[in-house]
A = this chain, B = another copy of it.
Amino acid sequence: MKLTVLKEFLNESIQHVNKAISNKTTIPILTGIKIDVDSSGMTLTASDTDISIQSFIPMEKNDLQVIDLKQSGSVVLPSKFFVEIIRKLPAQHVEIEVKEQFQTIIRSGSSEIQLMGLDPEEYPIMPGIEESKRIQIPSDVLKTMIKQTSFAVSTSEATPILTGILWTIANGKLKFIACDRHRLASRETSIDTEEGFVLNNVAISGKTLNELSKILPDQNVLIDVVFADNQVLFKMSSILFYTRILDGTYPDTSKLIPQSYQTQLVVQTDDLVDAIDRAYLLSREDKSNIVKLVMRDDQTIEISSSSSELGKVTEDLTTIRLTGELLRISFNSKYMLDALKVMDSEQIHIGFTGAMQPIIIRPDENASLLQLILPYRTTG
């Protein structure tokens, strides 16, 4: 293998695939990045077995020669050092030459780096994915859906399935659900699917989807998502992102969501975020995060928290609308802030069905996003 490649392209590809490298891997070959070069271009691959990322560098782009190929071939290079050194090379062009026993020489300007490469034959083969189940979704919509749900996945390895975001598709709607037993986040969007296209019980690690989010382009381009038996493949223009589907059956959460409300509150989102944020500061010192909401009348609510050591925070808030029974309810302020911060709406609607029933938070004019928080049982 011998070629010259533009540093900028190589560096961008490395940054993408590097997200799949785990520091914890016990498989030595997976600490490396695999490089394959042939007459079509250069492919970089990295994997931690849960996630695999491939990035492709074309021979040329917009009439710019990106790669000057001398000889095809493959090698695996130790990722940690490779990632850092490529970024710091002095010249625009990087020559990579693989010699016997995978010894690799990287030249750029007056720098010469010799690296001990590994045998690419030892590198695991990417999973074959049948393209039977396949959807398209705009990149920016996918990013937003991940942001609006991923924070609510469980971090407990005791229930691995709840560390994932559940994807379901039915009647032309794609829905994400994340739930950690104390709160639930759900978001849906319309997608173009064939008549009768249904997807059930596909849960993908929330952490993995956050990694994917960092690679997804900000522009409104369509991403192909291919579902296989135990793998999902996200196809971007020059990147393939493979991840496995979590084992197990995702619990039915549909019954958690109340069908009607006893009390309905509409407030300015920013005002509520700021008030709860201040109450949260104090409640955090007590390690409880408990904040209390008291509805004084249909125009005023009071947000408060107290710490036996420090003192008390009291916030008065004017409602936009408050109908139904006046309630006193306590909840985890951190969970409420997480939910409010992804609302993307000037006003929000909060529905209550009693002091011990789930609290439902929605943008005032948008039914596609829903956040649920279980209240705390407190005295007084």
A313 nearest in chain B by CB position: B113
- The answer to whether A114 has its CB under 8 Å from any CB of chain B is yes
Partner of A310, one of B115, B285, B317: B115
Tell me whether B110 and A315 are in contact (CB under 8 A). Answer: yes
- The answer to whether A78 has its CB under 8 Å from any CB of chain B is yes
**Residues on B with beta carbons closer than 8 Å to the beta carbon of A275:** 110-111
**Residues on B with beta carbons closer than 8 Å to the beta carbon of A81:** 281-282, 285, 310
Q: How far, in whole Å, are A189 and B345 apart by their CA atoms in the complex?
A: 58
Nearest-neighbour CB distance to chain B for A53, whole angstroms, equals 23
**Residues on B with beta carbons closer than 8 Å to the beta carbon of A111:** 275, 278, 313-315
- The answer to whether A311 has its CB under 8 Å from any CB of chain B is yes
- The answer to whether A274 has its CB under 8 Å from any CB of chain B is yes
Per assembly, the copies of the chain total 2
Tell me whether A115 and B311 are in contact (CB under 8 A). Answer: yes
**What count of chain A residues pass the 8 Å CB interface test?**
33
- The answer to whether A192 has its CB under 8 Å from any CB of chain B is no
Nearest-neighbour CB distance to chain B for A148, whole angstroms, equals 24
Tell me whether A112 and B278 are in contact (CB under 8 A). Answer: no
Binary contact readout A73-111 vs B (1 if CB under 8 angstroms, 0 otherwise): 000001011001100111000000000000110000011
Tell me whether A274 and B316 are in contact (CB under 8 A). Answer: no
- The answer to whether A312 has its CB under 8 Å from any CB of chain B is yes
Q: How far, in whole Å, are A193 and B202 apart by their CA atoms in the complex?
A: 77
Given contacts A90-B274, A111-B275, A275-B111, contact A313 B281 (CB under 8 A): no
**Residues on B with beta carbons closer than 8 Å to the beta carbon of A316:** 110
Sample (24) of A-B pairs whose CB atoms are under 8 Å apart: A78-B310, A81-B281, A81-B285, A85-B281, A85-B282, A88-B278, A88-B281, A104-B311, A110-B275, A110-B315, A110-B316, A111-B275, A111-B313, A111-B315, A112-B314, A113-B282, A113-B313, A113-B314, A114-B313, A114-B314, A115-B310, A115-B311, A116-B309, A116-B310
